[in-house]
Structure 1
Amino acid sequence: ATCICTEEPRQLLAELQAIEQAMGRVKVRHWGERCIDLDIIQMGEQAIDDIDLLIPHPGISERLFVVEPMIELLGADHKVPGLDDLGTLRHELKHHSISLCQDIDISGATVA
């Protein structure tokens, strides 16, 4: 999803982690299985390279399941800071495949 955020990146990260915890996420091991995973993919033109926070997300260029929705939201010409435009990233991932399992309408959803 895309959203307008007035929070600083670290505050947003803390809020996302709180949501994950509330939904039952338990961090057993790095890159291990989990019931939910909320990431900050990009925050405008910001670039952050800290041990616990990397923006833009370092896996963008490796994950078609991230690039395709970004193209739907932002367009293929959208440039990710430090990377190519999304259309180029999609082309470089042409050997990957994804499929939509279920389309869920969240247009009426509210955040508590």
Structure 2
Amino acid sequence: MAECTDLSISPSETPLVAIALGSNLGEPLRQLRSAVRLLAQTPGIQVLACSPWYRTVPVGPPQPDYWNGCLIARVQLSPWALLATLQAIEAQFGRQRQAHWGARTLDLDLLLYGDRLIATSELTVPHPRLAERPFVLVPLAAIAPHWRHPLLGETIQTLRERVGDVGIIAVFSDDVGETTFATAADRPLPEPHE
């Protein structure tokens, strides 16, 4: 996939979005890859970059480790149409919303929609916990380190450095084709391509 290096958006362009992906039931890595393919095949969505996959410690009740990643896409969908698309894809993978922060087959969260600020009963953008979650900031910083949080004004890389690597226990790169187990502190993240 193409790299996402210029995150500036002119009024005439379709907006860039950041989407977090997670799974810890079934076959997480297969499900995540399939979800990326489905998004890339969806009319109105052009996937530009996908982060490596990270195995992470779950937040919430006892459950298996998660696999997490992020992607950047250009969209020709409204935020609400994109949210409906993400929820429909989750449903295709058997997502059931039973327990808050519970285990799931697939979780797709809209993190950023350009520099838009949205606060409705069904959608909040930027994602309200984006700035405090290493399992989102580590993969997002790998592909969009210079994107500025529209409320905080800080880059994703700055936010990632602030929260650290707590709970990040493995990384998988589709480009390399192998899993390397290490704490994030033991293995530096890939340098962003400028």
- Shared fold per TM-score greater than 0.5: yes
The 5-angstrom pairing of residues 4-43 of structure 1 reads 4-43=74-113
User: Paired residue for 1:103, among 165, 169, 173?
Assistant: 173
**Separation of aligned partners in 1, 2:161 and 2:173:** 24
What's the CA shift string for 1:47-83, capped at 9, x where partnerless?
10112101111111111121122222122x3211112
**Separation of aligned partners in 2, 1:45 and 1:51:** 19
Residue identity opposite 2:104 in structure 1: R
Q: Displacement, 1:96?
A: 2.0
SS of residue paired to 1:80: coil
Q: Displacement, 1:92?
A: 1.7
Residue identity opposite 1:58 in structure 2: P
The residue that corresponds to 2:155 in the other structure is: 85
Q: 1:102 to 1:87 in 2, by over 3 A?
A: closer
Identity of aligned residues (%): 35
Q: Displacement, 1:95?
A: 6.2
**Separation of aligned partners in 1, 2:75 and 2:132:** 25
What's the CA shift string for 1:62-111, capped at 9, x where partnerless?
11121122222122x32111122223212221262413343335xxxxxx
Q: 1:47 to 1:26 in 2, by over 3 A?
A: same
C-alpha RMSD of the superposition: 1.7
The residue that corresponds to 1:110 in the other structure is: none
The TM-score with structure 1 as length reference comes to 0.81
Q: Which has the higher strand share?
A: 2
User: Paired residue for 1:3, among 73, 77, 86?
Assistant: 73
Residue identity opposite 1:80 in structure 2: H
- Which sits farther off after the overlay, 4-13 or 22-31? 22-31
Q: Displacement, 1:31?
A: 2.5
Q: 1:57 to 1:66 in 2, by over 3 A?
A: same
Unaligned runs of 5+ in 2: 1-70, 176-194
What's the CA shift string for 1:9-45, capped at 9, x where partnerless?
0000001101111111111133222111001010111
The TM-score with structure 2 as length reference comes to 0.49
Structure 1 residue ranges (4+ consecutive) displaced by more than 3 angstroms after TM superposition: none
- RCO comparison, higher one (Cα < 8 Å, 6+): 2
- Structure 2 residue 138 is matched with structure 1 residue 68: yes
